[in-house]
């Protein structure tokens, strides 16, 4: 993943684009349908749990 991000960054810089990678972000490669489904379900259901999070403020 690091090599990919490095190559994309170098190419983007040559083309004059700004760096678009999010700092301190954990990258993960989805390897099968079950893993995709688990992650998708988490993304869909996560907002319902925000009010329970100790860092949530509104």
Residue 22 is assigned to a structural domain of this protein: yes
Which sign does the torsion angle of CA 40, 45, 49, 51 carry?
Answer: positive
Whole-number Cα distances in Å, 46 to 18, 24, 40, 42, 49: 31, 21, 10, 6, 6
Select from 19, 23, 26, 35 the least CA-distant residue to 10: 19
Mean pLDDT of 21-31: 82
pTM of the full predicted structure? 0.50
Residue 52 is assigned to a structural domain of this protein: no
Residue 29 is assigned to a structural domain of this protein: yes
Higher-pLDDT residue of 27, 38: 38
Higher-pLDDT residue of 22, 29: 29
Residue 28: which domain range? 2-47
Residue 16 is assigned to a structural domain of this protein: yes
Residue 57 is assigned to a structural domain of this protein: no
Residue 56 is assigned to a structural domain of this protein: no
Residue 54 is assigned to a structural domain of this protein: no
Q: Is the pLDDT of residue 7 over 80?
A: yes
Q: Is the pLDDT of residue 4 over 90?
A: no
Into how many domains does the chain fold?
A: 1
Return contacts of 7-14, CB within 8 angstroms, 24+ apart. Answer: none
């Amino acid at each position: 993943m690091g090599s990919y991000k490095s190559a994309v960054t170098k190419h983007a810089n040559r083309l004059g684009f700004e760096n678009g990678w999010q700092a301190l972000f954990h990258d993960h490669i989805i390897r099968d349908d079950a893993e995709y489904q688990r992650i998708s379900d988490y993304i869909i259901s996560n907002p319902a749990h925000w009010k329970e999070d100790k860092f949530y403020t509104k």
